[in-house]
Structure 1
Amino acid sequence: MAWNEPGGNSNNQDPWGDRNKRGGQKEGPPDLDEALRKLQDNLKGVFGGKKKPGSKGSGGGFGLLAMVFAALAAMWLYTAVYSLDEQEQAVILRLGKYHETVGPGLNIYFPPMDRKFEQNVTRERAYTRQGPMLTEDENIIEVPLTVQYKISNLKDFVLNVDGPEVSLQQATESALRHVVGSTAMDQVLTEGREVLAIEVKERLQRFIDTYRTGITVTQVNVQNAQPPREVQESFDDVIRAREDEQREKNQAETYANGVIPEARGKAQRLREEANGYRDEIIARAQGEAERFSQLVAEYRKAPEVTRQRLYLETMQEVYSNSSKVLLTGDQGQNSLLYLPLDKMLEGRNATSQRPTDTSGSTVNSVPTSSNVSLSSDALSRDLRARGSR
């Protein structure tokens, strides 16, 4: 019968009765107390503590504290001592204020009073961006850009700007848009990319130097720019139209380069001919003037002889240029005959141009000059005879 049933367990024996009566106070469950007691004994044995009679504590508490402090010191030392290689530097802040910049080697700092910011200052870093840009001639193109940079001043990189690499990206965006916005599309797509990259690098470096980010831009590469895919066909049509325009301009320039020098050559020839004619007229006039001066001197020496000579020369010059001959009598009173010598000369020239036969004689020849002379002599004699009669 159970102890707590009615009528049973007359001795009123409670399973925990003895423990409840001990010391007049209640204790916890026996298993928990026993476990705590065993743990305490084990700790005392580990730290070498001995239980003193009539004492409530143990002398091993100091050893436990020593072990705790030793463990904390080991952990702190492991955290405080650090090593930097040849490519790294570290900035130490003590109580939130800049303390020093340390270089390669074994170093130590004092956390939590000190804070350490460690970075690789020689490694080349790269940042790539791509986006639509508006050129100077109001065309939209996609410009992919790669920026290579490194940390030149770790103190400025850590302290001056919150997020220096984010500032670099924003400065790159601003510099690229400014340069592309002041450049024509043809230059961005063709040979102007190198100049574009140089201008972007210079402007970007000025921006980040103004911000004092501690970053140095080493290289800016502008890759092959392309128009947006949505307007690629229209863009190709524009390029073909510009190529046709350029081809027509080249053809026109080629024609002009051929015509203009020829016209200039003709103009130069006309100028040279005019100059030659001018020089000829001037020289002839000067010669005539000199001849007249000499003739005046001779005329003063012998007027009659000079006058007769001038008359003969003048008549010779006049008759040599005339194609008409007038024959007169001895007294010069009767005009007898007019000879068309100009027609005779034309007939002689036509005869010289006619074909010859195998024997070398002229076919259908006309009277020659000798025949004309003989006829003239005969006519002269006849006319004299008539005049005498």
Structure 2
Amino acid sequence: MAWNEPGNNNNGNNGRDNDPWGNNNNRGGRDQGPPDLDEVFSKLSQKLGGRFGKKGGVPSFGGGGSAIGLGLIVVVLAVVWVFSGFYTIGEAERGVVLRLGKYHHTVEPGLNWRPRFIDEVTPVNVQRIQQLQASGLMLTKDENVVNVEMVVQYRVSDPYKYLFRVTNADDSLRQATDSALRAVIGDSLMDSTLTSGRQVIRQSTQVELNNIIDNYDMGLTVVDVTFQDARPPEQVKDAFDDAIAAREDEERYIRESEAYKNEILPKATGRAERLKKEAQGYSERTINEAHGQVAQFEKLLPEYHAAPEVTRDRLYLDTMEEVYSRSSKVLIDSKSSGNLLYLPIDKLAEQSAGATQTKRQAKSGAGYDQIELDSQRTNTQDSSSTRSTSTRQGRY
């Protein structure tokens, strides 16, 4: 039953004794004011402290239970602090630990713990390949201006140096790349920069960039350097295109001339070698013929001494035969016979010339005897055929 419910009149006070605010002496009605909140909380605290203090429950803030309550709060806060110190470092990361703002150590991937509010951990990815681009108008050694673009790929090798050796390692690397590229371009000619010297420029820039990184101790490692593009300024691009086209034509003509040289030179060398071999063969053949003639003369000399007249007649006949074989005139003894002879002069001249040439060739080779025999056999057959033909015509 409510404290102010009608009929609840234990002492004839119309329920005023049941007022929870303790206003039993108030006259009620319009003279009754609002309760005092400070007094209410004070009484509530005393009641709770008395009950839980005796039973070992939640302590109050007054009396002997206040120490126990504070201890419990401290324990709870300590547990929360311990559990809040656990953290995880990824597989590709390394954690840089600062204790009270000073570098302490570097942690490996996995579950780790730190004292909260004392240590601060900064994870750094050491496996990701990052890249930056450097470009701009640069002056070459021959005082020409080119527009150069280069891409640098790098990764973090030392997390502590990457974070604290320089103010901003990425920006420092960009400035170092620009400096190294300008130094290399400044030592190169424009033609080599635009054409054949690109690979040399790339390697030189990478070496120069590594030297700068080592000197500043940035904690970075350059993975690759790519020389993307090098072109003249737009104002003179047409003139440079014409110059490049002329240079390409020059190189093409040089390659064509080299190809022609490689084609002609072996043929000329082979032809010269063949002529040399032919000359050597002719020389040896002429010398051997001379030696053969000398040997034949030396062999004929004793016969000449033994029978001079016979030998002289034989030499005369052989000489006349050789002389008349080259003549187109034919001599006929008309007194020896009354028969009319038919002589094919043209055929006889061709056969005589062929026989003489065969004899000359056979004398210089090893098969002279066989060729001579075949020639004599051919002449004999031709003579027999001629005599037979002439005899038949004479009879008619």
User: What TM-score bracket applies, with the shorter chain setting the length?
Assistant: 0.5 to 0.7
Residues 145, 222 of structure 1: 8 Å contact kept: yes
- 2:150 equivalent to 1:145: yes
Distance 2:272 2:200 in 1: 45
Residues 89, 102 of structure 1: 8 Å contact kept: yes
Letter in 1 for 2:133: T
Cα distance, 1:68 vs structure 2: 10
Distance 1:176 1:143 in 2: 9
> Pick from 75, 90, 103: which aligns with 2:95?
90
Q: 1:299 to 1:207 in 2, by over 3 A?
A: farther
Match of 1:177 in 2: 182
Match of 2:288 in 1: 283
Letter in 1 for 2:95: A
Q: 1:114 to 1:39 in 2, by over 3 A?
A: farther
Deviations 1:78-128 (A, max 9, x none): 875533222322122346654221123343334765453332222222212
Normalised to the residue count of structure 1, the TM-score between the two structures is 0.55
> Pick from 159, 165, 170: which aligns with 2:170?
165
Distance 1:44 1:135 in 2: 92
Deviations 1:139-170 (A, max 9, x none): 43222222222212213323444432233223
Distance 1:125 1:43 in 2: 66
Letter in 2 for 1:231: V
> Pick from 268, 276, 291: which aligns with 1:271?
276
Distance 2:170 2:112 in 1: 27
> Pick from 207, 213, 219: which aligns with 1:214?
219
Distance 1:113 1:43 in 2: 40
Cα distance, 1:295 vs structure 2: 1.7
Distance 1:204 1:197 in 2: 11
Q: What secondary structure is seen at the aligned counterpart in 2 of 1:310? A: helix
For structure 2, the residue ranges without an aligned partner over 5 or more in a row are 1-35, 51-60, 331-344, 351-396
Distance 1:320 1:285 in 2: 23
Residues 80, 108 of structure 1: 8 Å contact kept: yes
Distance 1:237 1:40 in 2: 101
Residues 117, 158 of structure 1: 8 Å contact kept: no
- 2:108 equivalent to 1:103: yes
Residues 145, 220 of structure 1: 8 Å contact kept: yes
Distance 2:125 2:135 in 1: 27
Q: 1:106 to 1:307 in 2, by over 3 A?
A: same
Letter in 2 for 1:142: N
Letter in 1 for 2:303: E
The farther-off stretch of 312-321 and 284-293 is 312-321
What pairs up with 1:1-389 in 2 under 5 angstroms?
80-94=85-99, 98-110=103-115, 114-135=119-140, 139-181=144-186, 185=190, 188-189=193-194, 193=198, 196-197=201-202, 200-250=205-255, 252-253=257-258, 264=269, 267-299=272-304, 301-317=306-322
Distance 1:44 1:139 in 2: 94
For structure 1, the residue ranges without an aligned partner over 5 or more in a row are 1-36, 51-57, 326-343, 350-389
Distance 1:189 1:108 in 2: 56
Cα distance, 1:203 vs structure 2: 4.5
Distance 1:45 1:220 in 2: 77
Distance 1:71 1:40 in 2: 31
Q: 1:237 to 1:321 in 2, by over 3 A?
A: closer
Match of 2:31 in 1: none
CA RMSD of aligned residues (A): 4.8
Q: What secondary structure is seen at the aligned counterpart in 2 of 1:289? A: helix
Number of residues of Structure 1 aligned to a counterpart in Structure 2: 285
Among all aligned residue pairs of Structure 1 and Structure 2, give the percentage whose two residues are the same amino acid: 43
Distance 1:249 1:147 in 2: 37
Match of 1:362 in 2: none
Distance 1:157 1:187 in 2: 36
Deviations 1:21-72 (A, max 9, x none): xxxxxxxxxxxxxxxx98999799889899xxxxxxx969x88998998999
Distance 1:46 1:291 in 2: 159
